[in-house]
Structure 1
Amino acid sequence: MIVECGFYEIETDIKKRYGFMYFLAKHKCNPRNIELVFIKDGGLKGKEELVYFIKKERLWSNQKI
């Protein structure tokens, strides 16, 4: 599922590749502009506004995945 956060569209499915887990966010005006929000050490790391939105919308929890 895709949810909107300001100028970004966030895919709610957690991606996994090479041992990393992350969310994918694409800029609406420039689809080539992609931000990754990584899940590390029980927290989210990446662009602050996207991390805040993901936590606020409860797209992710501290539970082990």
Structure 2
Amino acid sequence: MSRPMIAADADKAFDALARRLATRAAALATAYAETQALIARADESRWRRAGLVWPLFAKG
């Protein structure tokens, strides 16, 4: 009888993990695209932008 409950919990956990990974992937993709744009303009300020250097860490 406990099988459906375990399966439901596993599905919820997997869905939550997939959402967190998708959010992190979007943050990385955004930072990468911005970094590439700055590289194309030869803008060295990209090394001083915390959001680009560490895109997965919260600020403050």
TM tier relative to shorter chain: under 0.3
> Which protein is richer in helix relative to its size?
2
Higher-strand-fraction structure: 1
Choose between structure 1 and 2 for higher RCO, CA contacts under 8 A separated by at least 6 residues. Answer: 2
TM superposition score normalised by structure 2:
0.24
Q: Which protein has the larger Cα radius of gyration, Structure 1 or Structure 2?
A: 2
